[in-house]
Amino acid sequence: MSLFGRVKHQGRELTSRALERHLRLGVTGLSGSGKTAFITSLVHQLTQGDNSGNLPFFDVVQQQRYLGGQLAGQVLAVPRFPLEQNLQYLQQEPPVWPPSTTGWSQLNLQLRYKAGSGVRAHLQSHSELALEIVDYPGEWLLDLPMLTMNYTQWCEFSWQLFSKAHRAETAQPFKQLLQGADINDGSELYVQQLTDSYKQLLAQFHQTAGAYLNQPGRLLIPGELAGAPMLQLFPLLPEQASQNTALAAKLTQHYNSYCKHVIKPFYQRYFSTLDRQVILVDCLSALNAGHAAVTELQQALQLILQSFHYGPSSLLRRLFKPRISRVLFAASKADHVTPEQHKSLTLLLQQLLQQPLKNSQYQAATTEAMAIAAIRASASGFVQVDGLAQPCLSGTAADQKKLNYFPGEVPATVPPQAVFERHKFTFLPLQPLPWHGTSALPHIRMDHVLQFILGDKLR
């Protein structure tokens, strides 16, 4: 290549690099909320399902400017999201849901598109957007409020929570263990033994329908911190926590170092690098689990929301410079209900978030709420009942039985306790639809999701 050619070529490369943009998208939600299914579907829609019939509300695809997405390399030290394995699970006969990821993982994509207008449309044949998708447990966001409490306050908070109807019985053996504990023993071995018992309790809560708020999040899902000393932590009974004893002193020390060496670095190193965030919420399972569960989900969401409040005096602003500009709250598994219920599901989610999503005075970020199914597992239709068309769903139950049913109505507001006493919500889990890997994964509103999180970056 001539010198002129080389300079021109390099010039083109530089222009392309200068114009290349990055976006780091965080995907979170409490365990079971649908993160694994969501990321699997999102990536598949961007790499294989990019036709306008499949993504009608994703402008760049609809306007035929999308040139495709490809998986891109990533730093080896970062755990990679197991996309290929997940797609294999969905292609099995019968298909099964991929196992949930635990901890932090990432997948990088390179998206190509034609710019619609502006400088790039003239300078380049195509533009690129590097999309980094970061999956992490929502449980870790539940740790943030621990920064605003001291150890004694945290013990009070925890034991208040453990006294709730759906937790009290499970917590009883650990309570008894603490009542008989030697508070003058602050030895490593003893603290570890009691922590092991608390860890078991947390694991039991984790399996209890509607017990969402489990702290410290890293004791339950340690990620890369498994075995770290500050994870020797549990809440003493409030009357024990306030006493000046060896055990309380040791735990206070661990609590403080958990805040300093686990919670703060998570926000500073990881959370602060995210540009956009999707938060998945499984409202339907909470309704199935009853009133206490819905109340606790609401409480957990309030705590999670604190991570997106960047008011001038907010805790987070003191820790780092927030840059998350868009937050999507998605009520997941909307395919468990008939389509005319989606509006109520979205309203219910908004009520659980307890705030008008737009124009919150503290939010620098634009927020949106919608009901979605990352991987649709049902087909919706109508049946004639007494001459009237009634909406219904068909799908496959966990035991492989074929179902054709009306799953029930979704309340548009949080129902009072009396409603749960009269009526049991039963939104059934479904197996994925058969899928052979060649077509786009069926979904509900993933195109709306893509438009909200990427639309403005692909103009």
Q: Does 277 bind ligand GDP (CB under 6 A)?
A: no
Answer whether 346's CB lies under 8 Å from 371's CB: yes
CA 219, CA 203: separation in Å to the nearest integer?
Answer: 9
User: For residues 94 and 265, which CB has a smaller minimum distance to ligand GDP in the complex?
Assistant: 94
Q: Does 236 bind ligand GDP (CB under 6 A)?
A: no
Strands 105-113 and 66-72: antiparallel
Q: Does 333 bind ligand GDP (CB under 6 A)?
A: yes
User: For residues 231 and 373, which CB has a smaller minimum distance to ligand GDP in the complex?
Assistant: 373
Among 211, 373, 449, 453, binds ligand GDP (CB under 6 A): 373
**Which residues on neighbouring strands pair with residue 106, listed in sequence order?**
80, 134
Q: Does 348 bind ligand GDP (CB under 6 A)?
A: no
**Tokens of residue 370, six digits:** 């919608």
CA 188, CA 344: separation in Å to the nearest integer?
Answer: 51
Q: Does 445 bind ligand GDP (CB under 6 A)?
A: no
User: For residues 285 and 350, which CB has a smaller minimum distance to ligand GDP in the complex?
Assistant: 285
User: For residues 373 and 410, which CB has a smaller minimum distance to ligand GDP in the complex?
Assistant: 373
- Segment near ligand GDP (CB under 6 A); pick from 57-65, 66-74, 110-118, 332-340: 332-340
Q: Does 332 bind ligand GDP (CB under 6 A)?
A: yes
Residue 444's φ and ψ, nearest 5 degrees, are -130, 120
Q: Per-residue contact track with ligand GDP, 2 to 31, x per CB under 6 A?
A: ---------------------------x-x
Alpha helix locations (H) across 107-212? Answer: 118-123, 151-162, 168-179, 188-207
Minimum CB separation from ligand GDP for residue 438, in Å? 20
Within 299-328, which residues bind ligand GDP (CB under 6 A)? none
Q: Per the omega criterion (within 30 degrees of 0), is the bond before 216 cis?
A: yes
Q: Is 69 exposed, middle or buried (0-12, 13-18, 19+ CB in 10 A)?
A: buried
What torsion, rounded to 10 degrees, do the Cα atoms 17, 26, 374, 431 define? 130
Minimum CB separation from ligand GDP for residue 280, in Å? 6
The closest of 220, 314, 211, 293 to 262, measured between CA atoms, is: 220
Answer whether 319's CB lies under 8 Å from 264's CB: yes
Among 23, 36, 181, 349, binds ligand GDP (CB under 6 A): 36
Q: Per-residue contact track with ligand GDP, 66 to 105, x per CB under 6 A?
A: -------------------------------x--xx----
**Tokens of residue 3, six digits:** 């010198």
The closest of 329, 323, 325, 396 to 357, measured between CA atoms, is: 329
Minimum CB separation from ligand GDP for residue 181, in Å? 34
The full length of the chain comes to: 459
**Tokens of residue 306, six digits:** 């604190």
Q: Does 338 bind ligand GDP (CB under 6 A)?
A: no
Answer whether 103's CB lies under 8 Å from 137's CB: yes
- Segment near ligand GDP (CB under 6 A); pick from 59-67, 71-79, 307-315, 371-379: 371-379
Q: Does 250 bind ligand GDP (CB under 6 A)?
A: no
Among 59, 128, 132, 335, binds ligand GDP (CB under 6 A): 335
Among 107, 129, 211, 377, binds ligand GDP (CB under 6 A): 377
Within 391-420, which residues bind ligand GDP (CB under 6 A)? none
Place of tokens 């040791």: 250
Q: Does 339 bind ligand GDP (CB under 6 A)?
A: no
53: left (phi over 0), alpha (psi -120 to 50) or beta: alpha
User: For residues 50 and 335, which CB has a smaller minimum distance to ligand GDP in the complex?
Assistant: 335
Strands 366-371 and 326-331: parallel
Among 331, 352, 430, 441, binds ligand GDP (CB under 6 A): 430
Q: Per the omega criterion (within 30 degrees of 0), is the bond before 137 cis?
A: no
**Tokens of residue 92, six digits:** 């099995």
**Tokens of residue 111, six digits:** 């998206």
User: For residues 27 and 115, which CB has a smaller minimum distance to ligand GDP in the complex?
Assistant: 27
Among 394, 429, 440, 455, binds ligand GDP (CB under 6 A): 429
Binding site for ligand GDP (CB under 6 A): 29, 31-37, 97, 100-101, 332-333, 335-336, 373-375, 377, 429-430
